[in-house]
Amino acid sequence: MPDQQNPTEPFQEEVRAEVVNINQGGAGHVDAETVSIRQGGAQTIASGSADITQGGAIFIDAEHATVNQSGAGVIVAEEAAMDNTTAGLVVASKVNAKNSRIALLLGGTVEGRPDIAVDARVAAIIGASAVVTLFILRRLFRS
């Protein structure tokens, strides 16, 4: 396995290496200890450390994820740092977000003031309400 891989093609289906740098390109799946993406993207990332600037990813699974001026569908990380970022779901023990939008946040410590549509408390209320509603509907329409 090479120590560093710089894809020369604009899109690589699968990239596995210790260090991956993607500049103005993309990859399907990236599996590396360190991932750096600049003006590019990846469908999925599995990494110890992922850093994305002006790019995006559908799913990021990393110990440390740093996402700047980018978008991500799902971020699962021990620590997530976000600056001018939009994310659908963020699951992290520690989140540091500046000028960022998050649809659903399930996290421990949150630093900064992200715009959060649904946090853990609201998600719990929605879930409990859905369960009670389904229970009542089942009782009403029981034959």
pLDDT at 1: 45
Dig out the tokens for 81 from the structure.
């740092």
100 phi and psi angles, rounded to 5 deg: -120, 155
Q: Write out pLDDT tens, residues 44-69.
A: 999 999 999 999 999 999 999 999 99
pLDDT at 3 over 60: no
pLDDT at 6: 56
CB 26 within 8 A of CB 13: no
Average pLDDT (30-39) is 94
Burial 61-75 (b: 16+ CB within 10 A, else e): bbebbbbbbbbbbbb
* Average pLDDT of the chain to the nearest whole number: 87
3 vs 31: which has the higher pLDDT: 31
Average pLDDT (119-124) is 77
